[in-house]
A = this chain, B = another copy of it.
Amino acid sequence: MVLKGNALFAQSGGPTAVINSSISGAIQEAAKHNEITAMYGSINGILGVLNENMIDLNKESKRNIELLRVTPSSALGSSRHKLKNEEDFEKLLKVLQAHDIRYFFVAGGNDSMDTANKVHKLAVSKKYELRVMGLPKTVDNDLAVTDHCPGYGSVSRWLAMAVRDAGLDTEAIYTSDTIKVIETMGRNAGWITASTALAKQKENDAPHIILLPEIPFNQDKFLSALDKIYKKLGYAVITCCEGLKDEKGEYLTSSKRSIDTDKFGHKQLGGVGETLVSIIAENLKIKARCDKPGTIQRVSGMAQSKVDQEEAFISGAMAVKHGIEGKSGLMVTLVRDSENPYKCSTGVSDLDNIANKERKVPAEFISADGMYVTEKFLKYATPLIGGPLPEYARLEKNFIPKKLK
Interface residues of A (CB under 8 A from B): 11, 14-15, 20, 40-41, 43-45, 47, 52-56, 59-61, 64-68, 70-81, 94-95, 98-99, 158, 161-162, 165-166, 168-177, 180, 182, 257, 259-260, 262-263, 268, 270-271, 274, 281, 285-287, 289-296, 298-303, 390-400, 402-404
> Do B172 and A403 have beta carbons less than 8 Å apart?
no
Specify which of A59, A77, A296, A301 lies most central, judged by the most chain B CB atoms within 10 Å of its CB. A296
Contacting residue for A47 out of B45, B175, B285, B287, CB 8 A: B175
Top 5 A-B residue pairs of the complex, sorted by shortest distance between their CB atoms = A291-B294, A73-B168, A67-B393, A74-B172, A71-B392
Cα distance, A309 to B263, chains bound together (Å): 46
A296-B165 CB under 8 A given contacts A54-B399, A173-B15 = yes
> Do B300 and A281 have beta carbons less than 8 Å apart?
no
* Nearest chain B residue, comparing its CB with the CB of A73: B168
> Do B390 and A70 have beta carbons less than 8 Å apart?
yes
Cα distance, A227 to B294, chains bound together (Å): 24
CB distance from A369 to the nearest CB of B (A): 27
Cα distance, A52 to B73, chains bound together (Å): 51
A286: chain B residues at CB < 8 Å are 259
A300: chain B residues at CB < 8 Å are 161-162, 165-166
A393: chain B residues at CB < 8 Å are 20, 64-68, 71, 75
Cα distance, A301 to B168, chains bound together (Å): 11
Cα distance, A70 to B391, chains bound together (Å): 9
> Do A392 and B301 have beta carbons less than 8 Å apart?
yes
Contacting residue for A400 out of B47, B56, B402, CB 8 A: B56
* Nearest chain B residue, comparing its CB with the CB of A257: B281
Cα distance, A71 to B162, chains bound together (Å): 13
Cα distance, A370 to B65, chains bound together (Å): 39
CB distance from A96 to the nearest CB of B (A): 11
CB distance from A218 to the nearest CB of B (A): 24
Cα distance, A151 to B99, chains bound together (Å): 54
Cα distance, A223 to B263, chains bound together (Å): 26
Cα distance, A262 to B289, chains bound together (Å): 13
A172: chain B residues at CB < 8 Å are 11, 15, 44, 73-78
> Do A15 and B168 have beta carbons less than 8 Å apart?
yes
> Do A55 and B398 have beta carbons less than 8 Å apart?
yes
Cα distance, A45 to B404, chains bound together (Å): 19
Cα distance, A75 to B402, chains bound together (Å): 21
A295: chain B residues at CB < 8 Å are 166, 169-170, 177, 180, 289, 291
A53: chain B residues at CB < 8 Å are 399
Cα distance, A161 to B281, chains bound together (Å): 33
> Could you list 22 examples of A-B contacts with CB < 8 Å?
A11-B172, A41-B395, A41-B397, A53-B399, A55-B398, A60-B398, A66-B393, A72-B392, A73-B168, A76-B172, A77-B172, A77-B175, A78-B172, A95-B403, A99-B400, A166-B295, A177-B295, A180-B295, A182-B296, A259-B287, A291-B294, A291-B295
> Do B299 and A169 have beta carbons less than 8 Å apart?
yes
CB distance from A255 to the nearest CB of B (A): 9
A11: chain B residues at CB < 8 Å are 172
A398: chain B residues at CB < 8 Å are 55-56, 59-60
* Nearest chain B residue, comparing its CB with the CB of A175: B79
CB distance from A115 to the nearest CB of B (A): 14
> Do B302 and A395 have beta carbons less than 8 Å apart?
no
Cα distance, A289 to B71, chains bound together (Å): 22
Cα distance, A42 to B403, chains bound together (Å): 15
A47: chain B residues at CB < 8 Å are 175
Cα distance, A285 to B259, chains bound together (Å): 7
A287: chain B residues at CB < 8 Å are 257, 259-260, 268
> Do B64 and A175 have beta carbons less than 8 Å apart?
no
Contacting residue for A299 out of B15, B168, B262, B298, CB 8 A: B168
